[in-house]
Amino acid sequence: MARAHHKPLFFTDRDFQSFAGAPDPADVTAVAHESAAVLVGAGRTNSDPEVTRRLIALTDEIGLSTLAQLWSGRPAVSLPGAMWRLYTLREWVRRASVEASADYTAGIRHAQVAHAVAGSADPYGPKEIEHLVDRILEGAFTGDFAVALERAAAFCRVVASGRAERAERHDGHDDARADGEARSAALLGDTARDLTKCAAAWRIGSLD
């Protein structure tokens, strides 16, 4: 599991740019895993709610592109891969909360078990969906990390089910749109599987 690191608890764009600036591919790999371990370790060894809030909202401060430089190219089943997917999910929901809410609501009846695991409460409006994803990410820092990953995976499954339903509605009427929505649903399903594998790896201490 992630080790505790004695690093700054507040991460700025400069902090992450210092990680992201490594030119050698081997160094890039090393700093991707080190930066993810630093971030998770800082959150999980700290009890200050303000620190947790800042970590949840990290991309609001430094931008998703900074994390992309570090983590997007790492294997799906790795600590940076898991964190990249959690933050990408949060960023998408914040940018498209109405769409995410509609897909989640539509997907519930097809994925009731996943809905229960995700932990969403009625209603499922845009603000509630944003809050849910923030609470899932909060759990990565303050709760059982594996459970947080499983909740994120479940959320993706519900949304994917709703999006697949939307694709079916457009099939035969707007084929291009239907194809795009079907591909998006499949990608969300892939993300759910990746996060589930990450959770399993974390539980046996092999997620690094």
Q: Is residue 56 part of a domain?
A: yes
Residue 191 has φ and ψ, to the nearest 5°, of -60, -40
Does 4 map to a domain? no
Q: Is residue 5 part of a domain?
A: no
pLDDT at 10 over 80: no
Write out pLDDT tens, residues 25-69.
667 788 899 999 999 998 999 889 999 999 999 999 889 998 998
Q: Assess if residue 101 is contained within a domain.
A: yes
pLDDT, position 163: 94
Torsion of Cα atoms, 70 then 71 then 73 then 78, to 10°: 140
| Residue 6 domain-assigned (yes or no) | no
Query: Phi and psi for 22 in degrees, rounded to 5?
Result: -65, 125
Tell me what pLDDT residue 5 has: 39
Q: What is the mean pLDDT of the chain?
A: 88
Q: Which two tokens stand for residue 107?
A: 């997907």
Supply the pLDDT for residue 194.
Answer: 98
Residue 89 contacts by C-beta under 8 Å, 6 or more apart in sequence? 133, 152, 155, 156, 191
pLDDT value for 3:
38
Which has the minimum average pLDDT: 69-73, 83-87, 153-157, 196-200? 69-73
> Peptide bond before 123: cis, by omega within 30 degrees of 0?
yes
Query: Which tens digits make up the pLDDT trace of 91-118?
Result: 999 999 999 999 999 999 999 999 999 9
172 has pLDDT over 70:
yes
* pLDDT (mean) for 119-131: 90
Tell whether the model's pLDDT for residue 6 goes beyond 60: no
Residue 186 lies in a domain: yes
CB within 8 A of 57, min separation 6: which ones?
none
What's the domain count of the chain? Answer: 1
In the chain, the percentage of residues whose pLDDT exceeds 90 is: 71
- Among residues 86, 55, 84, 82, the alpha carbon closest in space to that of 208 is found at 82
Residues in Cβ contact with 206 at an 8 Å cutoff, skipping those fewer than 6 apart: none
Domain membership of residue 103 (yes or no) is: yes
Which residue range is the domain that position 50 belongs to? 13-203
CA distances from 75 to 79, 129, 136, 197 (A): 9, 27, 22, 12
Report the C-alpha gap between 170 and 158 in whole angstroms. 19
pLDDT above 70 as % of the chain: 88
Most confident stretch, 28-42, 112-126, 144-158: 144-158
Q: Is the predicted pLDDT of residue 18 greater than 60, yes or no?
A: no
